[in-house]
Structure 1
């Protein structure tokens, strides 16, 4: 049955929901408070990464995060502050940092990530899109034996899950990228991963949706809801009231503030990530993560992007120059001949990724609101999981069998 659907949020999650709901025959409106030309959906590393099986909430992460708390240059930085939502989130995050949790979620993450990766190719083929989609895999470049051993353990986990992954010697890596001098001792290689240029995909998807009749309302902020008997009756924006049959909350790091207006408590923290990029030839031809530095390096159409850090410091767009410097310096430690200029660092951008306490996205309907479907909390996997989340949201709203088991993604799950 054709329904009128409002999607709150115009990032990759929201637009993917719009795409699949439109394809299913629904009338779709997307509302976003921004110009829809920046943020996490545009500045990410572009990875489609089933290799990322381990959630952020893994054993030892909270302990390491506390050690890093006083270092504004650290890969994971949690800004100390007295905030009740941060305290609740931190408590739940710490409870999730167990090996049992990791083992439980690995199969679910593999399934939804492979689905997301493959849907990018399907969308490109079906709609005739031209965005960059390369199947070169992902290198994990290591400078220490300890890190190389740890990454080797992750290769074994991936192999057990049926993903293509293997260890590489330094000579094998140099043969793959002969024009990029490297300072490493070895690497792992996840052939299962693909990569993209995010802005190109987002622009093509927006153009397609508008041409197909999907209404996109930019620079319009949702500020409240009308609710009767556990049903949303309207959304109130800073411009007018809008009514629909179904609503989708895909507002990223802002979703928890909006959900509280509906008496739904989504534990979320905004995890800021940064990107720096250069148009100077680097010789880097394969997507690579600098394992110890936790920096992503991606060859994109016309430039090389360096992205990284997870800064949990509330919702803000402030650029911390210390973190930008840390990315630039980290890249040069692994690629000694690659230099990021002061001008390129000055053009750094950031985006906020919504992070749940257990590292798993929230996808599905809460028992507290019958005509609301939630789609947020994807952390660093938002780009990979955009299309798969959109497809699952469409299946939830159409009340059909979901493509993957969704229990671990339920918005009402307990921590």
Structure 2
């Protein structure tokens, strides 16, 4: 049965939800507070990451976080602040960073990442799109034996879960990536991963949805949700009121502001990430992560993107030059022939990734509201999990069996 579905949020998650709901025959409206041409969905590393089956809240990250907390150049920077939501999130993060909880999360994260990759490949094969997509894997490049051992330990877990993973020497990496002058000890190579150029996909998806009847209300802020009998009957923005049968909340780092209107608290903190585009030829053809620096490297359509850092400092889009410099300096340490210029650094961009305390997304219907499907909290895997989440949202609204188990992603889970 066709329904009127209002989607709050026009990033990768919201657009993919719109796509699969449209395919199911629903009347879809997307509302976004921006012009839908910037933010995390446009400036991310473009990774599709079955390799990322370890959640952010992993054992040891608290110790590292305390060490890095007061260093604005560190890969994972938490700005201390007296904010009740942040303090509650931090406590929940600490509770989630246990071996038992990480073990429980790994298989569901792998499953949803594999689903996301398969759906991207289906979209690529369709006649609807012509976006940049390459399945070349991911190199975890390391400079120290200690980090190499840690990465290979994770790699062996991946092998146990059915992924193809290799441990490569410096010479073996050089054969895969000639003429890059890499200064490394070796790499762990995940063959499972793929990569894209995000802005190309976003533009194509918006164009497709627009041509096929999806209504977009850009630069509109959701002011209220009208409720009757535990259901949202309409969405009120600063410009209009939209009648709905179902609502999808995919507002990223802003999602918790909207759920508070329903008396529903889902812990989310904005994790700011930065990216620098380099248009000169770098000879890089396979995506990589510079392990010690936590910097992502992606060969995109017409440029190479260097992205990184996780900055938990509230909702703001301020560019911190120290963090941009940290990315540029890391690149020089690994790729000796690549120097990111002052001009390239000045054009650095940032985006806010919605982070849950346990590193798992929120996907599902809360018991608080019968017709609200929540789809947020994807942190650094938002791009990878876009189509998978969109597909799951359409299945939830249709009350079908979901493509993968989603119990661990339930928005009402306790921390």
Interval of TM-score (by shorter of Structure 1 and Structure 2): over 0.9
Secondary structure of residue in 1 paired with 2:394: helix
**Equivalents in 2 of 1:277, 1:395: separation in Å?**
37
User: After the TM superposition, which of the residue ranges 90-99 and 126-135 deviates more from structure 2?
Assistant: 126-135
2:309 pairs with 1:293:
no
Match of 2:109 in 1: 109
Alignment of 1:82-97 (within 5 A): 82-97=82-97
| CA–CA distance in structure 1, aligned partners of residues 127 and 274 of structure 2 | 31
Unaligned stretches of 5+ in structure 2?
Answer: none
Pairs within 5 Å for 1:110-129: 110-129=110-129
**Aligned equivalents of 1:236, 1:356: Cα separation in 2:** 26
Q: Secondary structure at the match of 1:383?
A: coil
- Residue in 2 aligned with 1:141? 141
Q: What SS does the corresponding residue of 1:364 show, helix, strand or coil?
A: strand
Question: Could you tell me how far 1:230 is from its partner in structure 2?
Answer: 1.0
Cα distance in structure 2, aligned partners of 1:240 and 1:290: 47
Contact 2:128 2:208 in 1 (8 A): no
Query: How many residue pairs are counted as aligned between the two chains?
Result: 415
Query: Could you list the per-position Cα deviations for residues 318-360 of structure 1 after superposition, in whole angstroms to 9, with x for gaps in the alignment?
Result: 0000000000000000001101110100000000000000000
Kindly report which structure 2 residues correspond to 1:29-108, keeping only aligned pairs within 5 A, or say none: 29-108=29-108
Does the 8 Å contact 2:55/2:359 carry over to 1?
yes
CA contact (8 A) 2:245 2:371 kept: yes
Aligned partners of 2:346 and 2:263: how far apart in 1? Answer: 41
For residue 354 of structure 2, give the secondary structure of its aligned residue in structure 1: strand
Whether 1:7 and 2:35 are equivalent positions in the alignment is: no
What SS does the corresponding residue of 2:384 show, helix, strand or coil? helix
Once the 2 structures are TM-superposed, how far is the Cα of residue 128 of structure 1 from its aligned partner? 3.8
2:354 matched residue in structure 1: 354
Output the CA distance in 1 between the equivalents of 2:310 and 2:93: 15
* Cα distance between partner residues in 2 of 1:18 and 1:123: 14
Q: Is 1:211 matched up with 2:185?
A: no
Cα distance between partner residues in 2 of 1:70 and 1:54: 25
Alignment of 1:253 onto 2:250:
no
For residues 172-191 of structure 1, the aligned pairs below 5 Å read 172-191=172-191
What does residue 325 of structure 2 align with?
325
Give a deviation string over 1:224-281, Cα, whole Å, max 9, x none.
1111221111111010111110000000000001000011101000000000111011
Note the C-alpha offset of 1:285.
1.1
Q: Deviations over 1:13-37 (max 9, x none)?
A: 0000000000000000000000101
Alignment partners' CA distance in 2, 1:329 and 1:114: 33
State the distance in 2 between where 1:217 and 1:118 align. Answer: 30
User: Is the contact made by 2:46 and 2:197 (CA closer than 8 Å) also made in structure 1?
Assistant: yes
Which TM-score applies when normalising by structure 1?
0.99
Looking at structure 1, the residues matched to 131 and 241 of structure 2 have their Cα atoms a distance apart, in angstroms, of 36
Corresponding position of 2:157: 157
| Secondary structure at the counterpart of residue 232 of structure 1 | strand
Cα deviation for residue 63 of structure 1 reads 1.7
3-state secondary structure, aligned to 2:305: strand
Displacement of 1:303: 0.3
The alpha carbon displacement at 1:411 in A equals: 0.3
RMSD of equivalent CA atoms: 0.6
3-state SS of the aligned residue for 2:172?
A: helix
Aligned ranges 1:256-275 → 2 under 5 Å? 256-275=256-275
Q: Give the deviation of 1:127 after TM superposition.
A: 3.4
CA distance in 2, matches of 1:127, 1:27: 22
Q: Which stretch shows the higher mean deviation, 228-237 or 17-26? A: 228-237
Could you say what secondary structure the match of 1:261 adopts?
A: helix
Cα shift readout 1:189-236 (whole Å, capped 9, x = no counterpart): 000000000000000000000000111111111111111221111111
